[in-house]
Amino acid sequence: MSVLVDVRSPLSDQQRDYLLMTVFVFARNGETQRAKQIVDGLLAIGERSTKVRTAQAVLAFLAEDYALALNCLDRMDGDLHQDKPLNDEAARMRQYLRARCYYSVGREDEASDIAAQISAAR
């Protein structure tokens, strides 16, 4: 017997966008712990959108938790860093964040490769 699970978000797009804007404002003003609490809450209620995962990755980067940031980016983009085109600004931003994480953990060659890919995509 198969059980169907309702995967709809309990939030509307407008509500989610408002909360993510609040995350941005908190992070921009140095209140990353408050921003993280909102993102953790969104994840707890099942929000798994790319926007929420991106916010989680950015906050992890700001907290210097590069492993978590890279894990979030990998869950969103998979092998995007492997010679695939960067078709939109959000994908380029996530690749930039990936390059910064790689550079921060001493993987400069990979960071340089991504930087070159981003430059070529412009």
> Domain-by-domain residue ranges, the chain?
13-121
- pLDDT at residue 119 in the model: 84
Which CATH architecture fits 13-121?
Answer: Alpha Horseshoe (1.25)
Is 80 exceeded by the pLDDT of residue 122? no
Q: Which residues contact 16 (CB under 8 A, 6 or more apart)?
A: 9, 42, 47, 49, 51, 52
Is pLDDT at 83 greater than 70 in this prediction? Answer: no
114 vs 9: which has the higher pLDDT = 114
Q: Any idea which residue has 């407008």 for tokens?
A: 14
Residue 28 has pLDDT above 90, yes or no: yes
Q: Is the pLDDT of residue 81 over 80?
A: no
Contact 70, 35 (CB under 8 A): no
